[in-house]
Amino acid sequence: MDRLPGFRDFYPEPLPHRDVWSADVRNYILDRWRSAARGYGFREYDGPPLEPLELYTTKSGEEILGQLYHFIDKGERAVALRPEMTPTLARMVGAHERNYRKPIKWFAVPQLFRYERQQKGRLREHFQFNADLFGETDPAADAELIALLIDSLRAFGLTADDFVVRISSRRVWSEKLTTLGITDAANLTEIYQAIDKLGRESADWVQDKLRAAKLNDAQIQEVLQTAAIKEDRPSAFPHVPYDVGQVLTRIPETLRPFCEANFSIVRGLAYYTGIVFEAFDRKGKFRAIAGGGRYDNLVKLMTGGKVDLPGLGFGMGDVVLAELLADRGLLPRFDRHLEVFVLVADETLRSESLRLVHDLRDAGLAVDYSLTPSKPDKQLKRALELNAGCAV
């Protein structure tokens, strides 16, 4: 029986076939994500993989239903496998935020599920590094989160020649569109989704979408001119307009070569309210590596107005990152390394051999031995196959 389309089997290396994925690579990525987050003082959390369907439709509307794995459970509840982590986090923080000192700095590495068309860098499930910060409005918080994103990629050996973080602002865009007389919420969502496709779709496609959002030709040209604003010289960052410049100047100087102001970045989701950003590989071979931004109204929305707590966060998937690391030759070898193989030279000595195995394992060593009787030369051959450091 074959696995479902868009899902993955994870095997230990060496891999038996091209059409499977490496459990070793997955663990390597997740371990470094966790290490980077903890280095910034973030604490790990998790939530249920199955949530009430309303948790997602409240934030994203009924149109998200086509992207979800959802059903009616035996208790007649409408439920869905989590397609993202932010709604769960907003629910959790809203329920118990008084028990935590601000700012709240949390991260998670959940497995997420979306029923959408498969394409390069996108499957129907993936693991994702989510890092979020609540209770702080100062631009230093945005800078801290972007710095974590950069350092979490640097942890794999990626440099400023490999990727760039493009930073923009929904606040700037909101003010710009207001000056153009565009204030209808439905239109704004369509406009943001069209701008979000710049560089991924043709210019004609984007302009057609903007016309469908009821923009005239003059408004379209104003939108495209704003989207063309960018600045990648760190020396010019203090002069970048609005909150983008404030964030860029608060990013550590050693990390500024990884950043650029780029107003073509808007993020397609409606709930962003301020700074937004995405990480891309410099060669343009892959989808966005990561993306996020500020969502100061989301907790209020998810709690029905009971809790009003500013927040911001980002997500980074394992699929694109693994492809990028493989392309750059930055994945280590994952040969199995066994520290000790214990030989059972004589079956009359098996009890003593097992005692030695147990003692070595108690000492923290990786140890294996022959489970069934076999000749010493076959056991030595097995020790070599397992890449054992020594045989005793």
Is there a single domain that holds both residue 118 and residue 67?
yes
Q: Is the same domain home to 126 and 172? A: yes
236 with 258, same domain: the answer is yes
DSSP-assigned letters across all residues of 290-342: EEEEE-TTHHHHHTTTS----EEEEEEEHHHHHHHHHHTT-PPP----EEEEE
Q: CATH number of the domain that 233 lies in? A: 3.30.930.10
For residues 114 and 242, state if they share a domain. yes
What lies within 8 Å, CB to CB, of 140 at 6+ separation is 250
Number of helices and strands (H, E) in the chain?
13, 18
Whether residue 40 lies inside any domain: the answer is: yes
Where among 303, 327, 351 does a domain terminate? Answer: 327
What is the Rg, in whole angstroms, of the alpha carbon atoms belonging to the chain? Answer: 25
Residue entry with tokens 């710009």: 176
Residue 245 in contact with residue 238, Cβ under 8 Å? yes
Given 327, 355, 383, the domain boundary residue is 327
Are both 120 and 171 inside the same structural domain? yes
If asked whether residues 317 and 343 sit together in one domain, one would say: no
Report residue 307 as tokens: 């809790």
Which residue in the block uniquely carries the two structure tokens 């704004």?
188
Rounded CA gap, 368 and 373, in Å? 14
Q: What is the DSSP string of 4-55?
A: PTT---EEPSSPS-TTSEEHHHHHHHHHHHHHHHHHTT-EE----SEEETHH
Q: The whole model's pTM is what?
A: 0.90
Asked if 39 and 155 sit in the same domain, the reply is: yes
- Examine the domain organization and report whether 258 and 123 are in the same domain: yes
CB 132 within 8 A of CB 313: yes
In a domain, 131, yes or no: yes
d(C-alpha 71, C-alpha 243), whole Å: 42
Burial 328-347 (b: 16+ CB within 10 A, else e): beebeebeeebbbbbbbeee
Residues of the chain with pLDDT below 50 are: none
Q: Domain for residue 333, yes or no?
A: no
Q: Cα(299)–Cα(134) distance, rounded to whole angstroms?
A: 9
Given 327, 349, 365, which residue is the final one in a domain? 327
Query: Do residues 3 and 20 lie in contact, with contact meaning Cβ atoms separated by under 8 Å?
Result: no
Measured CA to CA in angstroms, residue 200 lies from 45, 187, 205, 286 at distances of 34, 21, 10, 11
Q: Which residues, listed in sequence order, are joined to residue 164 by a DSSP beta bridge?
A: 280
Number of domains comprising the chain? 2
pLDDT at 146: 98
Identify any residues that bridge with 278 across adjacent strands, giving them in sequence order. 166, 291
For residue 79, tell me if it sits in a domain. yes
Nearest to 153 by CA among 340, 375, 328, 307: 328
Residue type, 268: G
Question: What size, in residues, is the chain?
Answer: 392
Q: Are residues 209 and 350 in the same domain?
A: no
Question: Token match 């493989």: residue?
Answer: 326
**What's the chain's average pLDDT?**
91
**CB of 89 closer than 8 Å to CB of 45:** yes
The DSSP call for residue 372 is: S
Here the tokens at position 24 are: 């070793």
Name the residue range of residue 252's domain: 10-327
- Match 């979408």 to its residue by tokens: 209
d(CA 93, CA 95): 5
- The answer to whether residue 249 sits within a structural domain is yes
Backbone φ and ψ of 373, nearest 5°: -60, 135
Report in angstroms the alpha-carbon separations of 14 from 25, 322, 356. Answer: 11, 16, 29
Instruction: Assess contact for 270 and 257: CB atoms under 8 A.
Output: no
Q: Tell me the C-alpha distance between 28 and 222, whole Å.
A: 45
Cβ neighbours of 368 (radius 10 Å) = 17
